[in-house]
Structure 1
Amino acid sequence: MMSTAPLRANPHELPNPAKRDFLTSALRVNQAGELAATLIYKGQTPPIVSSHPHLRPLMKHMYDQEASHFSTFNALMAKHRIRPTAMYPLWTLAASALGWGTAIMGREAAMACTEAVETEIGGHYNGQVRVLLEMAEQMEKNGEDIGPELKQLISTIRRIRDEELEHLDHAVVNDAKQAVPHELLTGVIRAGCRGAIWISERV
């Protein structure tokens, strides 16, 4: 298990305790979210590709991007010695079940799942980018060196956010809105995502 020691402070990291706490929380929940995303697509792909072979390249593309996101946050967690959320085993089971279950319901339901998840995740990453930009602006005002690590983190989260929103667009193009019952399904999944984010940030 990775150490729970705080982030190592240096001029290119976030030495302020509040900033360290934010980064620890952000990276922990991001890793958990990307874990869930890879498992959702892994569960969805076999049933969806079996009934809709033309979707194989799209499902692979989205899975590969999520796997890359997961690797990115794993590396950042290890670098900064941040432990994963204690809910990791539960999220693993829940995400696998969600992926498989929505795929069994059909292509539209699987795409509605992607729509719901990526809507919440896109908004979550937007919020993180805003906070990090505010931190950078305040550091500049205080005459502090932002450093390459913070700049790179902002760039990385922006890129990942854009790729997540690309998945949302793919889902809508592939009839996510035609899922029955669309509002109920996406509403439940979005609520579950918000709850998982809240818990993972804290536990």
Structure 2
Amino acid sequence: MPVLRGAVTFSRFRVEPAKEAPSDIKRWLTRGLKSHAFEPIDRRSEEERAVGFVELENADSSEFPTSRLFYGEYALFAFRIDTIKVPAAAMKAEMTKWASAFEKENDRPPSRAEKNTFKAEVRQMLRNRATPRTALLDVSWNLKSNEMQIWATSRKVVDEICIALENALSLKFTGLTPSDVARTTGIDEKSLGPTAELIGMDLPASAVEEVSRVEA
């Protein structure tokens, strides 16, 4: 959990309610996170992915009691992503083994319908055995300054978390990267690039002579 330890890589935003600010911030936030809490993948379904909010220090809990959600002026929680996939190699190996045994027992290869029926059974068996792959992305929200940090490197994942929070809490996000700030304040992004002096271009003749003298 990068909020408490680990690498420091995050996206930063200013957030505010899209509608009228709630009178009870803590209750509003707790209810919103619970409404989009993480639920495990149903292995009987076709879903390969499940997402939702969980407690920062307990990825299996989404109760969000005050003592585990609020830390001073901060709200700390996590976004959990579980994925489960049946390996193609495992599926192929099981089908090959079954087809060989079927042909030996019945003196004929299995029909397409028989293959499809067994394929569904094998897939379910392998889904039941598979261990979901879990990713936890931490969220740090300063309720006093209205600044939020999402501890993720993937732009796609950051956007997914923002959309989940918009749906859960009706929030409005404003990016706080230099390019975002420039865009919202009307500054031309080109002016954010390095100057000629910084990268060593268009130096005065006197400066060039001085550099040559030092190198010599």
Answer yes or no: same fold by TM over 0.5.
no
Q: Which of the two has greater strand per residue?
A: 2
Q: Which of the two has greater helix per residue?
A: 1
Instruction: State which structure, 1 or 2, has the greater radius of gyration over its C-alpha atoms.
Output: 2
Question: TM (normalized to structure 1)?
Answer: 0.26
